[in-house]
A and B are shown apart, each in its own frame.
Chain A
Amino acid sequence: MVVVCGSFQGKSPVKRHVPLALVFITGFLLVIQYFVPNDASDFLYSYSLDWVIVIGIFATALGLWSLVKVTTSKIKRRQRGWGYSVVTLVGLVVMLVAGPIWGIEDGTLFMNLFWYIYTPIQATMFSLLAFFIASAAYRAFRVRSLVAGVLLVSALVIMLRLIPLGPISQVNQVFASWILSVPNMAAKRAIAMGVGLGAIATALKVVTGIERSYMGRD
């Protein structure tokens, strides 16, 4: 639906009002659908999801086109890091060719590339998160104010609850549980409630046409 709206950018009244009408009707129908449990309502919902899938398939082709265009442009202009673009293009072509020709069952070229090249690289990237957490923690736990001090103490209590500390463990466990289930939970729920209200407000603004900046108008 948003894709349709985004594609009408003309100045004529039809092009201005048709997207808004589409957004309003679709949005209003789907709000009603949430409160109606019957078969017609189920059909409307699954039909809408099917549309999303169809749009997604067409958009994937556009996405691939965009990737090829941007990478070839970088290679042509010999932009900084253009070698990475070559690797991207080669990877894209090899996977696109290997799948249809040799299939995607275990033991085929496609799956071997996936299991023995892509998966280890992804695992390596994910493992780097440990180092990023360490550097972020160092920045967060610098005691520059009273609030930062409270944060540091709370973090220490939470981290130490997983380490055996003899007689202190039990006390620490109680304190850690209290931090997690009282102040931490209260803050999380407050944020969740705010997010809920914000989401409803955004949906209302989009459905009623108050928010149109995504269509290029204030």
Chain B
Amino acid sequence: MILFVALILFIAQTGFSEPLPAPAVSDVPNDNGHALDISWESIESDSIGDVSAYEIWRSESFEGPFELRGTVPAGVFEYRDRGDKERSSNNYFPKGKPYIYFIKAIGETGSFDTPPSEPVSATEQWYHAGKTPVLIGTIIFSALALYFVQIARRGKKLYIRPLSGIAAVDEAIGRATEMGKPILYLLGSGTASGIATIASYAILGRVARKTAEYRTKLMVPCKDPVVMTVAQETVKAAYSEAGQPDAYEEDSVFYLTSMQFAFVAAVSGIMVRERPATNFYMGSFYAESLFLAETGADAGSIQISGTEQVAQIPFFVVATDYTLIGEELFAASAYLGRDPLLLGTLKAQDYAKAILMFILIAGTITMTIGWSWFADLFRVNLQ
């Protein structure tokens, strides 16, 4: 009887025809356990007028005190309460600790509070379920690569389509030797741990080995001191491998500057003064690509470029003699080394591309006829 009277009084006071539900609170999936998701239904009441915003309040117990965690405008009915993992932070959000939430609707003439939610705690996950398609794809590709590596190891010959840019490398080094002019090798603007720079080290190793054999001068100006350090070791090791450790000059790999256009100016100066017979541009390049390639073309050098930066590929195609487009940069080392194990991974790449083409065609067909489940299989949720 008392509860019934209280409910009648509540309805009369707030103008709601039925009691509002408490906000729904749930753990944020695929995270490190320092956040909760809160959602609620639209709150409309004659007693407070039009709602302009919702406040999200939190407490460790039903008795309070409650703390304001955030405000969202009217029309938004969800909020992600995210805190820091560091205990020292003012916004520390401990995992495993239950929290209670209520929503305060701010209206023109007053405000209204929903009942508090049940206590919910944030938990951390050990696996990001949203990245499952990436994991499956990586496993399939790795399995393909290891399979072809095994085939190559057994001695089976693998056909790899020829690339004109790779075929030109030997010719370009030979030209420099005949002309008695140096070879300029640029590793791009990427960091030492960038995958394009790592691919470029591998190509540099092959090129340096040839220049050591032919006793051709090699110049490797660097934009990043870490890249320089690795490149020095790569070139030094290549000279040792070629049986010419004494021919290695430490100053052949040198640092210029980390500033983009200052680097461009310095390298352009080297091109104009030294007139290298061959220029290699291998790695991540940005706005400097056209500067360097055009200056090299003016200096009369044979130029071979390769980058994974899609926006720079047209500039290299136009201004250099040979361009390794995208993935060809990553394949170049295998082509130059002709190691069967490396060629095995190239074959795996070709098969992976064939699988991707099949998936794209199947996706186009299924989406056209209205089956979205096929595309959903490949959807990656990074939230």
**Which residues of A approach B to under 8 Å, CB–CB?**
1-3, 6-7, 9, 31, 34-39, 41-42, 52, 55-56, 59-64, 66-67, 69-70, 73, 80-81, 84, 118, 121-122, 125-126, 128-129, 132-133, 135-137, 139-140, 188, 191-195, 197-206, 210-211, 213-218
Contacts and interface: CB of A to CB of B under 8 A. Distances in A.
A69 B293 CA distance: 27
Given A35-B128, A216-B234, A56 B326 contact: no
A197 B319 contact: no
Nearest to B227: A59
Contact of A125 (B206, B234, B264): B264
A177 B346 CA distance: 36
Interface string B118-159: 000000111110010011001001100100010000000000
A55 B193 CA distance: 12
B201 A214 contact: yes
Contact of A136 (B199, B254, B257, B315): B315
B117 interface: no
A55 B310 CA distance: 30
B163 interface: no
B255 interface: yes
B290 A60 contact: no
B327 A195 contact: yes
B283 interface: no
Contacts of A42: 32, 85
Given A122-B259, A216-B234, A39 B229 contact: no
B226 interface: yes
Interface string B299-335: 0000000001010011101110000011111110110
B32 A211 contact: no
B166 interface: no
Nearest to B264: A125
A203 B32 CA distance: 26
B202 A211 contact: yes
Contacts of B319: 136, 139
A192 B309 CA distance: 9
**Chain A interface main SS type:** helix
Contact of B127 (A35, A140, A193, A210): A35
Interface residues of B, number: 91
Interface stretch (B67-75, B102-110, B347-355): B347-355
A7 to B, nearest CB: 6
Given A63-B222, A198-B330, 12 more contacts: A3-B229, A35-B135, A66-B225, A81-B273, A125-B291, A129-B290, A136-B318, A136-B319, A211-B334, A215-B234, A216-B241, A218-B339
A213 B225 contact: no
B345 A213 contact: no
A73 B251 contact: yes
Given A38-B33, A188-B310, A197-B141, A216 B124 contact: no
18 contacts: A9-B233, A37-B127, A41-B32, A42-B85, A55-B226, A62-B225, A66-B255, A67-B254, A121-B261, A122-B261, A132-B290, A136-B315, A140-B314, A202-B199, A202-B202, A216-B233, A216-B238, A217-B237
B290 A66 contact: no
A199 to B, nearest CB: 4
B7 interface: no
A42 B124 CA distance: 12
Given A3-B192, A37-B125, A198-B308, A64 B345 contact: no
B229 A38 contact: no
A73 B314 CA distance: 38
B341 interface: yes
B269 interface: yes
Listed from nearest, the 5 A-B pairs whose CB atoms lie closest are A216-B237, A63-B225, A198-B330, A6-B233, A198-B327
